[in-house]
Amino acid sequence: MHHLHHCVSARSFRALWMLEELQLPYTLHMLPFPPRVLQRSYLELNPLGTVPLLRHGEARLTESAAICEYLAALHPGAGLSVQPQEADFAAYLNWLHMSDATLTFPQTLVLRYTHFEPAERRQPQVAQDYQRWFLARLRAVEQAVEQRHWLAADRFTAADVAVGYALMLSAHLEMEPQWGPATQAYWQRLQQRPAFQRALQAEQQAARAQAVDETPSPQLR
């Protein structure tokens, strides 16, 4: 059994989406955001106080892109990983790491300086600069999906889940009108996946059952 600790709309959604794509059994533990402040007992499981936390046997993973890679690697028959002997192996790994380090990171600064800081500490110029930073780097996605439906190996993989969450967060931040047309079409394809839709439903149902605010909103990890 997989145990996923998750906040609504947080980047732990990547792990939830992967679990649904692979149709693996899991228990979803919903947390209020930020859990390190609002549910201090969580620190006993994850001293960082962040989500995601995936518990799978003795394994403990706290990085969302690493969880995507881990789950895909454990189930190679599902085709969500790209193997070293395949031509797109390097591209697959690069997209997985780019999804968080390059595409999600600048958005966390936009969030911080527009939503999470007290009014007197908010920095509109910082937020605007990092929004531009993100949009500039999103051009790599635009160029990739102009040529193909998915990012690597001519099939849907964990790289699409990882990058897809960065687009989900960007859409929450109302940046979608500034994306290129190929990226917008790619995002529509991602949202149409049954596993994506099941993940959204699972998140909302678990939040309701566990008395956690289910309102979709952008969250920091």
> For 64-96, what is each residue's pLDDT tens digit?
999 999 999 999 999 999 999 999 999 999 999
* CATH class assigned to 86-192: mainly alpha
Q: How confident is the model at residue 123 (pLDDT cuts 50, 70, 90)?
A: confident
How high is the pLDDT of residue 199? Answer: 98
Hey, where are the domains in the chain?
1-77+193-208, 86-192
- Give me the amino acid identity at 218: P
Res. 218: pLDDT tops 60: no
Q: Within the chain, where are the H helices?
A: 13-22, 35-38, 64-74, 89-98, 105-111, 124-137, 139-147, 158-172, 181-191, 194-209
- Give me the amino acid identity at 3: H
* CATH class assigned to 1-77+193-208: alpha beta
Helix%, strand%, coil% for the chain, nearest 5: 60, 10, 30
Q: What angle do CA 153, 64, 193 make, to 5 degrees?
A: 50
How high is the pLDDT of residue 98? Answer: 98
pLDDT in tens, 100-119: 999 999 999 998 888 776 78
pTM for the predicted model, two decimal places: 0.94
Q: Residue 3 burial (CB < 10 Å; 0-12/13-18/19+)?
A: middle
Cβ(206)–Cβ(190) under 8 Å? Answer: no
How high is the pLDDT of residue 213? Answer: 81
Instruction: Compare 112 and 131 and report the one with higher pLDDT.
Output: 131
Q: Which two tokens stand for residue 74?
A: 């454990």
Strand partners for 2: 26, 56
23 Cβ contact partners less than 8 Å away, ≥ 6 residues apart: 195
Count of other CB atoms within 10 angstroms of residue 208: 12
